[in-house]
Structure 1
Amino acid sequence: MRDAILVLNAGSSTIKLALYAVPQQGDAKLLCKGLLDAHSAAPHLIIHDTSGAVLFDHRPDQAGHHELIAALLDWTDEFLQGGRLIATGHRIVHGGRRFVSPVRIDADVLQALDALTPLAPLHQPRGLAPIRAIGALRPQLAQVACFDTAFHSDLAPPVSRFAIPRRFEAEGLRRYGFHGLSYQFIAGQLARQSPPLTGKRSVVAHLGNGASLCAMRNGRSIDTTMGLTALDGLVMGTRCGNLDPGVVLTLQRLHRFGPDEVERLLYYESGLLGVSEISADVRTLLASDDPRAKEAIDLFVYRAGAGVAAMAHAMAGLDVLVFTAGIGENSAEIRARIVAELGWLGVRIDDQANAAGRRRISTEASAVTVLVLKTDEEAVIVEGCRKLFG
């Protein structure tokens, strides 16, 4: 018999899940991982053990969150063999000003998080849907929210401020930053694996379908590329990144775009997909001979390089550059191209080490240590749950 915590990490389309055994003493132990997709035409729940073997593969003809979550909870009960599921932990993208650490979810918290949906329309509803489903199915099961914005909660003016009338800042219109669970994990990895690097001026590049940078020192966020929403900063899969606000005004005036149309354009139709008109997937674009694919990649790389330089400015220098997340961990070509943009900073990589995806890919002559580290947001969430419950 064993106690366990189920972690649900809701992205823009699917939910990553992980089940951990949680002893009263010692580290949590990963038991299995999986993926839940309730939004595609073919709903699917699949779970693998730590070696990759399939433990559960559920493909109902029709299902929403409620049905797939019910199947997941029932399977978990059986898998634990008399053990106890003591909590579920959830990644919530936006915590606003109120939520800066893990919190147990009740009706008041759920209402407050729902009110933040306009600031994260792509992610917030997806994060709250499984919470509601579990609340209906297992009302006595403790649920915990962990926030992507929390890691950046110490950001203060001028970093946190927009140059708009001050009264709007009082309403909460400020820069929050995101991908905080990933940055928290990387900060912990640096502290454990390379303690001398912890105090160095570091930029972490979380490059995936959503992409951002974080300037970090001593495990704290100094600056980041995302702002009020997860639209800002780098070019992303379908999101525009940094954009002249006049573009929105022009769309409204010339094309009569309303708020919903602008939101759909900037969140779902822009970024790599919008520029290439081919795909939001870097792998597809890198393999394509279409000049539009090259132009999209060129823009992605240029903005990433410029962003790293801006983060270095926030710390008056750069000592460490970390690549993480789907693209950062897996695309040697994108890493090489971004580093090439930063040659003027003295950044150099070993091509063989980069191609092999080694932990350290910089040369001995490089003025900046360049690392490739695998992130694990689910591990941060389970530890957040454990700390909350003591």
Structure 2
Amino acid sequence: MPSNGRPPQPQLRAAAGDAILVINSGSSSVKFALFSTKDPPARLWSGAIDRIGLAHGRFHAVDAAGTTAFDETAEVADHDMALHLLLDAIDRHTAGDGLAAVGHRIVHGGAECDCATFVTETLEARLREFVPLAPLHQPHNLAGITAVRNARPDLSQIACFDTAFHHGMPHLATLTGLPRELRDQGIRRYGFHGLSYEYVVERLRSEEVDVDGERVIVAHLGNGASMCALKGGRSVETTMGFSTLSGLPMGTRCGDLDPGIILYLLTEMDLSADRLRHLLYEESGLLGLSGFSRNMQELLARPTDHSALEAVAYFCYQARSHLAALTAVLGGLDRLVFTGGIGANAPMVRADICADLGYLGVALDPTRNTAGARVISSAAGRVVVEAFATDEEQMIAQHMRRLLAAQPARQVA
């Protein structure tokens, strides 16, 4: 391992091509985006292959203008078939020299992966060690790599990590209260949603916001949810830690939990490790509290349902508490950015989270917040509050282009 802690870059060469493909593989879907290799990369397509493994799958994409490029029904048995279908469609529907590389969002890169890197067998083996830390994501991220290799073994693949952005966190922010020897075995806080946070930082910088001089909190709120405190444009603290379970409650994940509850469930209620894992990752959060849905939009659409109201209120209460705690790390707050599916699109949730934060200088303009304006803070507030969509795919494409630009032009054996 080099002295800088980064894994050595394998001597791969990019294939000739005028497009790069970004994929995000889930359990029953593959989301994708096709970009040019220009600087910055220009989005050509966005789409998904949904309902993998079911009889009536859907393969759809829109072009850069939002016009439907194609929308087909297809029976897609597995990720291998999905990637064959996608790569064949790219060949059919695009002109030019084809793909230069395929990039993957990988949720967990561990302590050694702090930058985008070419995929090798050694890297894949190391990433499989982190499946227990991100069981809802990591196996499917890796399945996408395998599927691309099966479809196009000569095509270069690049891994981009959600954990990489947090590598510069202060040492104390990475610690847990467990014995030191366990940290030496990898039990530490990593942080996630880094590609989203990195996109927000780069977008603010491109708009000449003084990110380096401001104290910023970004709230990435979606089916997975976390917050990140930024100082000097870098992550100094985040709500997710060792695994994708911690911090805020999420669609189906519990968020922070008294570890005594875990012990009680194991010893007094005789839950097996597998049953407990399923409970914490797939039956808790908004779904568990409401009893019927993990979808915030569905919960907000039932304002007279007590369980729905309680689930939303708990989510906002926990988010407000975590947000306030992050300001202690920063020593105050200058800018708050809401992003993610909930953060960018749920004004009621934003308003509830920001309620009673006037002592921090946070004050929303109700009209601008409800209308979905970019800046939603009022003139009376000291803190700038914004809401806009993140773009992790764009961030991956930018990492890919930088990595490919540093490589020789054509792939060799």
Shift of 1:62: 4.5
- 2:352 is paired with a residue of what secondary structure? helix
Identity among equivalent pairs (%): 44
User: After alignment, is 276-285 or 174-183 more displaced?
Assistant: 276-285
1:347 to 341, 354, 362: 362
1:2, 1:259 → 2: CA distance?
Answer: 47
User: After alignment, is 253-262 or 328-337 more displaced?
Assistant: 253-262
- Counterpart residue number, 2:200: 186
1:82, 1:51 → 2: CA distance?
Answer: 20
Q: TM-score, normalised by structure 2?
A: 0.91
- Counterpart residue number, 1:359: 374
Query: Is residue 142 from structure 1 mapped to residue 140 from structure 2 by the alignment?
Result: no
1:120 to 125, 128, 134: 134
Conserved 8 A contact 1:2-1:80: no
Shift of 1:156: 3.1
Unaligned runs of 5+ in 2: 1-15, 406-413
Unaligned runs of 5+ in 1: none
2:104, 2:150 → 1: CA distance?
Answer: 16
Matched letter for residue 111 of structure 1 = A
- Counterpart residue number, 1:283: 297
- Counterpart residue number, 2:8: none
2:332 to 317, 323, 348: 317
Shift of 1:186: 0.1
- Counterpart residue number, 2:83: 69
- Counterpart residue number, 1:301: 316
What RMSD over aligned residues (CA atoms) do the two structures have, in Å?
1.5
Shift of 1:38: 4.6
2:133, 2:215 → 1: CA distance?
Answer: 30
Query: Is residue 262 from structure 1 mapped to residue 276 from structure 2 by the alignment?
Result: yes
Matched letter for residue 352 of structure 2 = R
Shift of 1:2: 6.2
User: After alignment, is 180-189 or 27-36 more displaced?
Assistant: 27-36
Matched letter for residue 32 of structure 1 = W
Query: Is residue 28 from structure 1 mapped to residue 31 from structure 2 by the alignment?
Result: no
Conserved 8 A contact 1:38-1:65: no
Shift of 1:51: 2.4
Matched letter for residue 31 of structure 1 = L
Where do 4+ consecutive residues of structure 1 move more than 4 Å? none
1:39, 1:312 → 2: CA distance?
Answer: 42
Shift of 1:39: 3.9
Higher RCO (CA 8 Å, separation ≥ 6 residues): 2
- Counterpart residue number, 2:66: 52
Conserved 8 A contact 2:211-2:233: no
User: After alignment, is 62-71 or 179-188 more displaced?
Assistant: 62-71
Q: TM-score, normalised by structure 1?
A: 0.96
2:373, 2:169 → 1: CA distance?
Answer: 32
User: After alignment, is 272-281 or 30-39 more displaced?
Assistant: 30-39
Shift of 1:81: 1.8
1:364, 1:64 → 2: CA distance?
Answer: 52
Query: Is residue 105 from structure 1 mapped to residue 119 from structure 2 by the alignment?
Result: yes
- 1:243 is paired with a residue of what secondary structure? coil
2:325, 2:183 → 1: CA distance?
Answer: 23
1:355, 1:12 → 2: CA distance?
Answer: 34
**Deviation sequence 1:197-230 (CA, Å, 0-9, x none):** 4421010000000000000122200100000101
- Counterpart residue number, 1:230: 244
- Counterpart residue number, 2:264: 250
